[in-house]
Amino acid sequence: MKNFIVACVFILILVSCAESPVFVSPENELIEYTGRIDFSNPETPVFSYSGVSIRACFSGTTIAMIMSDDTGENYYNIILDGEVIDTVRIDTIKKTYEIASELRDTIHEVEIFKRTELTFGKTSFYGFVLDAGEALVQIQNKRTKLIEFIGNSITCGYGNEGENGESFGSSTENHYMTYAAITSRNFNARHLAVCRSGIGIYRNYNGLAEGNKDCMPNNYQRIFLYNEEPLFSFRETPNLVCINLGTNDFSTSGGDSALYVSNYLRFIDTLQAKYNKPDILCLLGPMISGETLPKVRSYIQFVADSANKNGLGRVSFFEMSAQTGELGIGIDYHPSVEQHRRNAEELTEYIKPLKGW
């Protein structure tokens, strides 16, 4: 009788173990990370920039993620098998979030994509949870291209899911539906964004004429814009780097063209030093209008032409069509989702012959 009881207990233990969910560590080599991410603690990657992506393929019918957030204001799109299935706001408490259940028992792809910008704080990722007996598998849809977008509120997607006159908040910002992220998806490329609302090449929004110390070129090398450490590794050269900066430098009176041009050229020097002869595309965004537009156009065109002569990588210029209001206007006169779609179509068509994609 005693042996029978011991055997039953042993069987129960085996059954219990077999039914336990599988924890997938963030260190798993089958997870694809894209974006500026702090891996100082490899068991808990931390990130803040828009567009950070965590992607993996898994077997089974259920998947969950474990995350926490500094502020509880960051939103993420959940993409399953290529379709956005949910938007999740991450709590300040470490929690497990069910992504999907009762799926067809086959191989699925999941992607977690950060909609909101760095001003809403940092998020920590602790891993995935899968069905008992399941595991991650090799990603089947290989993204062999990488496009980096450097920009301001336009690139962030500030207020693109709201209407002009409404108040801006994290729920109204969707980087996934910006010209930048849409363009990357059009080429099935991995997407790297370095952007912050209000930032400029030398002068942030309504800044002093002599400029701001926390402009993009001065803090670009950091993983977190306002933290001196850690620094970004720059191990991988993007196939294309797109810069969309200048709107804030000249959005209010006081912008200095000489400082703008010199800092822009210095910034391109930095990119060319960090990357191996990168292709750089200098963009003129859709928010500049009136007599300011031809001036800024001439500055950026001059920068691109001058930098292109250095032989350290091709530098080009492209102007996206300005918003007119026919496609709606987002919060604080920012581009709407439809305006972003239009600009993405234009940019995609320009890049195709430029890169031969």
pLDDT in tens, 272-300: 999 999 999 999 999 999 999 999 999 99
Give 50's contacts (C-beta < 8 A, 6+ positions apart): 114, 115, 116, 117, 118, 155, 156, 157, 175, 193, 195
Given a contact cutoff of 8 angstroms between Cβ atoms, the answer to whether 287 and 293 are in contact is: no
On whether both 43 and 131 belong to a single domain, the answer is yes
For residue 19, the model assigns a pLDDT of 75
Instruction: Please say which residue of 137, 158, 177 terminates a domain.
Output: 137
Query: Is residue 135 pLDDT above 90, yes or no?
Result: yes
Residue 322 covered by a domain: yes
Does the residue 3 lie in any domain? no
Radius of gyration, alpha carbons of the chain: 23
CATH of the domain at 351: 3.40.50.1110
For the range 308-316, what are the long-range contacts, defined as Cβ-Cβ under 8 Å and sequence gap of 24 or more?
A: 310/272, 312/272, 312/277, 313/272, 313/275, 313/277, 313/278, 313/279, 313/280, 314/279, 314/280, 315/268, 315/280, 315/281, 315/282, 316/279, 316/280, 316/281, 316/282, 316/354
| 2 occurs within a structural domain | no
Mean of the per-residue pLDDT values for the chain? 94
Instruction: Report if residue 9 sits inside a domain.
Output: no
Question: Closest Cα partner for 85 from 54, 108, 110?
Answer: 110
Domain boundary among 114, 137, 160: 137
Tokens of 89: 């706001």
> Distance between CA 129 and CA 280 in Å, rounded?
39
Dump pLDDT digits (tens) for 146-202. Answer: 999 999 999 999 999 999 999 999 999 999 999 999 999 999 999 999 999 999 999
Shared-domain flag, residues 260 and 233 = yes
Whole-number pLDDT of residue 10: 40
* CATH assignment of the domain containing 29: 2.60.120.260
Same domain membership, residue 247 and residue 328: yes
Say if residue 260 is in the same domain as residue 282. yes
**Predicted local confidence at residue 2, as pLDDT:** 47
Same domain, 154 and 115: no
10 domain residue, yes or no: no
55 with 156, same domain? Answer: no
Q: Give, as one character, the DSSP assignment of residue 262.
A: H
In a domain, 14, yes or no: no
Of 111, 137, 163, the last residue of a domain is: 137
Structural domain boundaries enclosing 161:
146-355
Cβ-based neighbours of 91, under 8 Å, separated by 6 or more: 68, 69, 72
> Structurally, how many domains does the chain consist of?
2
Question: Quick one: 75 and 184 in the same domain?
Answer: no
Is the domain of 308 the same as that of 179?
yes
**169 and 82 belong to one structural domain:** no
Instruction: Work out the percent of the chain whose per-residue pLDDT is above 90.
Output: 93
295-308 burial, b if ≥16 CB within 10 A, otherwise e?
A: ebeebbeebbeebb
Quickly tell me which residue has 């060319």 as its tokens.
272
